[in-house]
Every structure is written in C-alpha cells, then in structure tokens.
Amino acid sequence: MLVTNNNIQSEILITTMEELVPEDSLFRKIDKYIDFTFIYDELEELYPKIGRPSDPVILFKLVFIQAIDGIKSMRKTCEKVNTDAEYRWFLGIPFGQKTPHYSTFSQNYIRKFKDNAIFEKIFINIVNQAIEYGFVSGTHLFTDSTHKKANANKKKFTLTTEEIVKQRRKWLEDEINDERIKQGRKPFEYTDKVETKKVKINTTDPESGYFHRDNKENGFMYLDHRTVDGKNNIIVDCHVTKGNVHDSSVYLERVKYMKNTYNFNIKKVALDSGYDSLDIKKFLLDENIFGVIGYRRYGTKESRTKRRKYEYNQELNVYVNIETGEVLEYHGSIDRLGYMKYTNYGKDQTILRHIKEDINELYRENRISTDGKKLYQLRKEKIERSFADSKQNHGFRYAMYHGLNKNQHYTWLICAAQNMKNIAIKMNRYEKNTLNTAIIELILLKIKNIIQFFQKPNNIKPRAFSN
C-alpha cells in the first residue's frame, strides 16, 4: 500500500539523553571502562581559580571523537557534535546547551597545551589502564614504521646541503683494534666522519622530510615509529620523526623508553629487514631478548653465489669449499669496517667475513627457527593490522597539521583513542562472556541438584493404597 509520510518535524518530544543513545554504543563502552579524571589533575595548574569555567576533558574528548570516527577536521567534528545525541552524551552536554566552537581546542593548544607534556601523559595513562585490565604483557613486542603524508605541496621545496656526523660504533672499533694488535698490526685511528648530502626542504612544512623507498609513494612525509604489544595489540609507543629518518636509528632509544616507562620485561621482538643492524642485534643479545629480523640481501648476486659454495669451520677458523675441499685461511688481514679476509693465495680466492659475523649467524638461526617463523608471521596480525586500522578508520593517512611537535602531540591522542576503543570492546566482550558463563554454570548447577534429588531413593515414596 502506498502511503505518504506526513510526520511533522517540529513535533515536541519528551525524552532523555539516556534514551536517545543506544545501549551498545561504543562511546558508552569507552565512558564505562576509561577513566578520564586524571586529566584534571595534570592540568590543574594551567587553569586559574577564578574566571570563565572550562572543562579540559571535554576538549580532549572532542579530539577522541574525531579520531575514533575518523572525521577529517575539527570544524566538521564540532558540526556533528552539535546535532548528534551520542556525541553530546559522551561529552556530557545535553540538547539546549551550546557545544564548543571548533577553534576552542586550537586556541587552548596555543595558549596552554603545546608546551605541556599532557599529550604524552594521556597516552601513557591509557596504556597503564590497559595494563591494569590485563591486556598488556610487555613480553612480546612488534615494531615498525609507517609514513603519513605531510600537509604540504610536494612540488614546493628548496634544495640545500646538510652536514651529517656519521654515528660511530666505538664498541666495534675497540674490537677491531684488539684484533689488529693481536695479529701484531698497528691499530686504526678512528675519527668522526662528516658526510654532506643534498636534502629537499619543503617550503610549506619545513619540518617534514622527503620520503623515498622502493615500491612506495615518494613525497614529504612524517614517520610513525610504532610498537604494539603482542597480547592484545595495544599501542605502547608511537614516536614521530621526519620522513627521511631511517627506522633503525631510533629503535634502541624507543626500547629503552618503553622499559623505563612501563617496566616491561621484554622477552621477544619481531622486526622487519629495515632494523637489520649490528647495534640492534648486540643490544638485544645483551638484554637477553630473542629477536627475529626479516631477511635482507647484502652484496652482489655474484658474491652471494660464491659464498654459498664455502662453509665456515669455526674450530679451525677457515672456509672450506663444499665441492672441492679447497681451504681459505685467515692471515690476520682486517679492514677498518671489521671485515676479515680469508684467502688462498695460490688460486687468488677471497671471502670476507665480518668480525661479528657470529651475531649475524645467530639471528639467521632465530629467523629460520620454528619459534622465529611463528613470531615473524604474527607481524601481519599485530603491527601491520594496527597501522591499517589507524589509516582506514582513524584518519591517520594524512597529517592535518604542520610541524614535528604538533604531529607528535596529535599522534599520541589518536593512538590513545585507538587504545580506548580496543580496551572498551574487549572489556565489554569479556563481561558478556563472564555473565554468559555464570548463567550457564548456574543452570548446570540447578540441573545437577535436580538429578541428585531424584537419584536418592528416599525422596520418592510409593503411594499407599487401601483395600
């Protein structure tokens, strides 16, 4: 039957905010399981005792709403908040009261927040709440980086020259010189090396870095060096750098940061081939952490093919040709980088072996071991899924702001919002499962009691019949 909808849109409704918001609303779950009161304690000194009243939790909740629902701008977020009952309920602002203007958070950021550690403290506090709920183990960590497009025109840049002091490995230099002294050779004199390279500086956002990698889009980017916990994919660290910073250069600093911040007892880590560095391998060994690092090719195809023909004999410290039995010996020659030369002068065959090649071989064994394969396979389900969720659902694909610090601040808030969502969903599921289990156990107990009652012979007595 064809009908015409003649409902009057100006009809007055008598209802409450509680009735308007669905029971299974994500924001209800977040409000139930996440404690925001710590923000008042952290910002108490920034707000005077007299003056216009202001609630900083509402301001941060606006950013969380924007991040959780992946809204592209604060202006659009505030427009939706004004008409959405669910958002108003989460903020504690009923219909009839004004919602914050879109410029309110940005003005507070400029005047109060930008030089404060509140963003990092919010992120850490949410992680600590996840730890209290039992969602973080701190033993298995997965680390990687992802690029985020800078809010800048990639065609507007200047070309400049920068001097970079190459980081020295003093521990390795000492071992190389000890080996040379042992062989009766003069030790090397190492000094800081300064390299010059041409760098693109964007004129719109000078703090972004030019990102270029194989099979990926080039342009001005920021990098999020992120670590997730293996138990429930809670993000435990998100460190933002320029797009031209190498992954391995910040890893050791971030591991130490996590150990000091959360007192983690890290036992296993999984990293891709970009973290294949002697410094990282040595650090993990010293800390007794089982590490799996993705395969990375070194040298030319010809040199790799040649090396596969020889097998290293650790006891004799020689290389032996698997097919011919030819022996390449070490005659004490080691270069500044730590490569020892194994030769057979008669046939002019040479193989280079690094002085710390035993570390590389140990990590190769980790990678091809059963535990190592399982751990590395989990990267797709852990860190890669975390990045995908951020970009697909939480507006992380593009940087909305200029500058390294501001992008770091908003990254902390976005990752905190992603953690809140994770905690709320898992806690709600856990409570439902607990309730269902309790109901089932109660039903089973009653059935058991009934069965036991009827199994007792004295409980059912035969009826007496009279003649």
Do 169 and 314 lie in one domain? The reply is no
Distance separating alpha carbons of residues 53 and 343, to the nearest angstrom: 80
Residue 73 domain-assigned (yes or no): yes
Q: What angle separates helix 118-133 from helix 404-455, to the nearest 10 degrees?
A: 20
Nearest Cα to Cα of residue 328 among 360, 358, 299, 306: 306
Per-residue pLDDT of 402-442, as tens digits, reads 999 999 999 999 999 999 999 999 999 988 887 777 777 77
Looking at residue 188, its amino acid is F
Would you state the structure tokens that stand for residue 263, as one six-digit string? Answer: 């007192």
pLDDT at position 458 is: 60
In this predicted structure, the answer to whether residue 10 has a pLDDT above a threshold of 80 is no
Distance separating alpha carbons of residues 163 and 185, to the nearest angstrom: 33
The total number of structural domains in the chain stands at: 3
Do 202 and 271 lie in one domain? The reply is yes
Residue 251 domain-assigned (yes or no): yes
Distance separating alpha carbons of residues 391 and 385, to the nearest angstrom: 10
Do 84 and 213 lie in one domain? The reply is no
In this predicted structure, the answer to whether residue 61 has a pLDDT above a threshold of 60 is yes
Mean pLDDT of 86-110: 90
pLDDT at position 467 is: 45
Cα dist. 36→55, 60, 89, 122, 145 in Å?
12, 10, 15, 9, 29
Residue 71 domain-assigned (yes or no): yes
State which of 85, 116, 147 marks the end of a domain.
Answer: 116
Distance separating alpha carbons of residues 2 and 308, to the nearest angstrom: 80
In this predicted structure, the answer to whether residue 288 has a pLDDT above a threshold of 70 is yes
Do 389 and 270 lie in one domain? The reply is yes
pLDDT at position 168 is: 85
Specify the pTM. 0.88
Question: 3-class secondary structure for the chain?
Answer: CCCCCCCCCCCCCCCCHHHHCCCCCHHHHHHHHCCCCHHHHHHHHHCCCCCCCCCHHHHHHHHHHHHHCCCCCHHHHHHHHHHCHHHHHHHCCCCCCCCCCCHHHHHHHHHHHCCCCHHHHHHHHHHHHHHHHCCCCCCEEEEEEEEEECCCCCCCEEEEEEEEEECCCHHHHHHHHHHHHHCCCCCCCCCCEEEEEEEEEECCCCCCEEECCCCCCCEEEEEEEEEEECCCCCEEEEEEEECCCCCHHHHHHHHHHHHHHHCCCCCEEEECHHHCCHHHHHHHHHCCCEEEECCCCCCCHHHHHHHHCEEEECCCCEEEECCCCCEEEEEEEECCCCEEEEEECCCCEEEEEECCHHHHHHHHHHHHCHHHHHHHHHHHCCHHHHHHHHHHHCCCCECCCCCHHHHHHHHHHHHHHHHHHHHHHHHHHHHHHHHHHHHHHHHHHHHHHHHHHHHCHHHCCCCCCCC
Residue 439 domain-assigned (yes or no): no
Distance separating alpha carbons of residues 190 and 168, to the nearest angstrom: 9
Looking at residue 65, its amino acid is I
Angle at 362 between CA 302 and CA 372, to 5 degrees: 100
Please enumerate in sequence order all residues whose Cβ is within 8 A of that of 284, keeping only pairs 6 or more positions apart, or say none.
269, 290, 291
pLDDT at position 104 is: 87
Q: Residue 249: which CATH number?
A: 3.30.420
Mean pLDDT taken over the chain: 88
Residue 78 domain-assigned (yes or no): yes
Mean pLDDT of 202-230: 90
Do 288 and 147 lie in one domain? The reply is yes
Do 174 and 281 lie in one domain? The reply is yes
Do 66 and 161 lie in one domain? The reply is no
Other C-beta atoms closer than 10 Å to the C-beta of 413 total 19
Mean pLDDT of 73-81: 92
Q: Please, what's the largest Cα pairwise distance for the chain? A: 124
Mean pLDDT of 351-357: 91
Do 169 and 244 lie in one domain? The reply is yes
Domain region containing 343: 301-359
Do 153 and 283 lie in one domain? The reply is yes
Do 281 and 335 lie in one domain? The reply is no
Bigger pLDDT: 116 or 229? 229
Per-residue pLDDT of 166-184, as tens digits, reads 888 899 999 999 999 998 8
* Predicted confidence band of residue 68 (pLDDT cuts 50, 70, 90): very high
Do 284 and 311 lie in one domain? The reply is no
Per-residue pLDDT of 136-161, as tens digits, reads 999 999 999 999 999 888 889 999 88
State which of 116, 148, 167 marks the end of a domain.
Answer: 116
Residue 191 domain-assigned (yes or no): yes
pLDDT at position 51 is: 66
* Predicted confidence band of residue 25 (pLDDT cuts 50, 70, 90): very high
Do 210 and 351 lie in one domain? The reply is no
Mean pLDDT of 65-80: 92
